[in-house]
Chains A and B, each alone.
Chain A
Amino acid sequence: MPTFVYMTSCDGCGHCVDICPSDIMHIDKTYRRAFNIEPNFCWECYSCVKACPQNAIDVRGYADFAPLNHSVRVLREEKKGVISWKIKFRDGREKDFVSPIRTTPWGSIKAPSEYAPPGKAAFAAQELAHEPDALNVPALPALAREKLKQGIL
């Protein structure tokens, strides 16, 4: 498929449509539920799977090389800051993994405009925003133009 949507779980909210980087999750006009309109342009990136509030989307590996009866399921808990995976092999074996996804609250990043504005001289210098402080070394490294050598080394 690679992604497909369970008819009885989907409520047509459109989160998957909004997130899919490939623009292939669309709402079916008759059933008012989502489906993958172009499976051969699906990257199995799971962006839609993670975004679906109803857990209605699943992945069935690409037919041209993935035998049936496997599953890789995911639960992304944004507030808790963790993601959990369950891998089920064709022969029934299972593996579980849990990882952190973020160490700070969502929305907490400080906008660049909240920092003191750079002075005039800084515009002509090579340092970027927050440098040299953010480099954790005393100064931005630089090269001397005289060191340039043309040709084969």
Chain B
Amino acid sequence: MALFSRRKTIRVDSDILIIGGGMAGCGATYESRYWGRDLKIVCVEKANIERSGAVAQGLYAINCYMGMQWGENQPEDHVRYARNDLMGLVREDLGYDIARHVDSTVHKFEEWGLPIMRDPATGRYQREGKWQIMIHGESYKPIVAEAARKSATQIYNRIMVTHLLMDATKQNRVAGAVGFNVRTGDFYVFRAKAVIVSAGGASHIFKPRAVGEGMGRTWYAPWSSASAYALPILAGAKMMQMENRIVLTRFKDGYGPVGAYFLHLKTYTQNAYGEEYETRWFDKLRESIGDYVDHHPVPTCLRNHAFLEETKAGRGPIRMVTKEAFQDPHKETVGWENFLGMTIGQAVVWASQNIDPKHINPELTMSEPYVMGSHATCSGAWASGPSDYAPAEYQWGYNRMMTVEGLFGAGDTIGGTAHKFSSGSFTEGRIAAKAAVNYVLDLRDQPQVSEAECESLKKTVFQPMEHYAVYRNEIVAGTVSPSYLLPIHGLQRLEKIMDEYVGGIGANYTTNEPLLIRGLELLDMLKEDLAQIGAEDLHQLQRAWELQHRVLASEAVTRHTLYRTETRWPGYYYRADHPKLDDNDWHCFTLSRFDRNSGSWEMEKAPVYHIVD
């Protein structure tokens, strides 16, 4: 430790610690202050909350709004919608809870200054679809960040959280977190009575389609580094449905969103020969998954399935028919502003390739898989439900508390609550925060942090820099060393393993038991090699820890995929050895728990409760 013993350790005590200041984290910070007037509320963020997380470049729609004030939708309707889209398996108690609160969140956004479009005829919010409302959301994140800044005792930007701290006096209770400042290299020990993890989803665990300069243009942000899963996993929290990765059908190369195109602009897809192709695959699909194809709307994964089969049959590229809609200047403006407001890279691709959708029907593609909890997918932590109606199996404490005491989560972090999106993630942050305040106020014995644990974590956190410093001079120059791997090397190994063995694009999203078992063997060796990651500077140290988090989350994905011996979501992934949906054995959630002492994983099933007809 000689090299790094000079590093400063900074201690920060708080009542509530919020990890990740994205949508959910800003919601949690705001609500913590509302209920905890005298509490010390600290939000820690690896970037700058002004532009961090999946909403950094803005959004053009709020995808979860009931419109109860106009009788447009009720929370029950949203539960039915999410359940159908996820082929029956969502935590309906949690989903209902978000849906019943989300309108108040959106009304606050408007009051704060977010421009929400209005339907000139009715004066109501302009609907893009049944659940979506349209916004001029370039400054969505700065606005939400302003609310969080006004609420927190302090916000710490540019601190990458690496581990949660556990209580030294009581088993299975969280006591804070540690991390390092990416600019100064100081080590931070955050002691807290309650911790809310809101660290976003996971991109770059499967190999992306572009592997050169364009590897950063993933659909989900490249900085969504799976910390939301790795932190709780390492602390022994139960995770759910980690097999339920999502694949997105998007505009080619830029991954520009299609929602407004389908719903508002009424564009549609066709194959290379101008034919409708989706329904052509539904008869066969009915044999393996039953009548889900006949539900309305058709589940997202099944539409992917049709896209994939049509492409495999050699009738690609699949195109979005925009030429008709774009003759209307209003629709043309919406089509472009939709990208400029949330996926600027797509406008760059079209400008570069002379694609004007008024004259050319643009190509679509299917993305590599991502793991997250807020879109048409719901991987994440297993959380306790609302106290007024959640069933006993879903309720062991405070709302949104994980199976570790004092550890809460929201947004992409929490599993089972598909289709919450930006507004629902912020709302879930609020729900978790109110519960966390109650937890802190009820707390009798304070958590204790062991000095020995902090010291040992400090050593672990900076180890990649020390490793690099020691072995760098073994070689003349360049990136090839027999003694260390750089973070990018480890990342590309991970992406290749996941792609080939766990159902990425290279395998047409298909896997089986032998592949998964081999994948786990290779992941084990990668985990061993992580002890030899070399980081040249603090930026690379951040990349090194992002890699650690991605690897752990990937292992969870692989183990869950192995455990669920059926194909529940064709179009997201296929277990070729179990090609059918199997409601008798698998109409249930899969749960995992990692034991950090033994390094072993326990898998179990949990029941699904339906709360609405």
Contacts and interface: CB of A to CB of B under 8 A. Distances in A.
Contact of B587 (A20, A74, A91, A152): A152
B129 interface: no
Interface string B589-613: 0000000000000000001111111
17 contacts: A40-B215, A44-B216, A46-B57, A64-B210, A67-B352, A90-B351, A101-B139, A102-B143, A112-B30, A126-B388, A128-B31, A137-B68, A141-B75, A148-B93, A148-B610, A150-B610, A153-B88
B146 A106 contact: yes
Given A66-B352, A152-B88, A147 B611 contact: yes
B430 interface: yes
Q: What is the interface of chain A mostly: helix, strand, loop, or mixed? A: loop
Nearest to A99: B136
B434 interface: yes
Given A106-B146, A145-B389, 6 more contacts: A37-B539, A61-B349, A62-B214, A83-B138, A134-B107, A148-B610
Interface string B83-109: 100001000010010001101100110
Interface residues of A, number: 90
A101 B344 contact: no
A71 interface: yes
B57 A85 contact: no
B201 interface: no
A19 B138 contact: no
B585 to A, nearest CB: 11
A47 B57 contact: yes
A136 B56 contact: no
Interface in B423-437: 427, 430-431, 434, 437
A87 to B, nearest CB: 5
Given A45-B344, A46-B344, A117 B37 contact: yes
Interface string B530-542: 0000000001001
A93 interface: yes
B563 interface: no
Nearest to B150: A111
Most A CB contacts (10 A, CB to CB) among B57, B96, B438 go to B57
B114 A102 contact: yes
A136 B347 contact: no
Nearest to A106: B146
Interface in B251-267: 253
B51 interface: yes
A135 B107 CA distance: 7
A109 B349 contact: no
Contact of B609 (A45, A89, A150): A150
B104 A128 contact: yes
B101 A140 contact: yes
Contacts of A72: 340, 344, 347-348, 351
A83 B253 CA distance: 25
A131 B182 CA distance: 39
A65 B430 CA distance: 41
Contacts of A151: 587, 607-608, 610
B609 A40 contact: no
B50 interface: yes
Most A CB contacts (10 A, CB to CB) among B103, B215, B222 go to B222
A148 B389 contact: yes
B515 interface: no
Interface in B333-379: 333, 336-337, 340-341, 344-345, 347-354, 356
Nearest to A133: B104
A90 B354 contact: yes
Contact of A111 (B33, B83, B108, B542): B33
A54 interface: no
A113 interface: yes
A59 B347 CA distance: 11
B317 interface: no
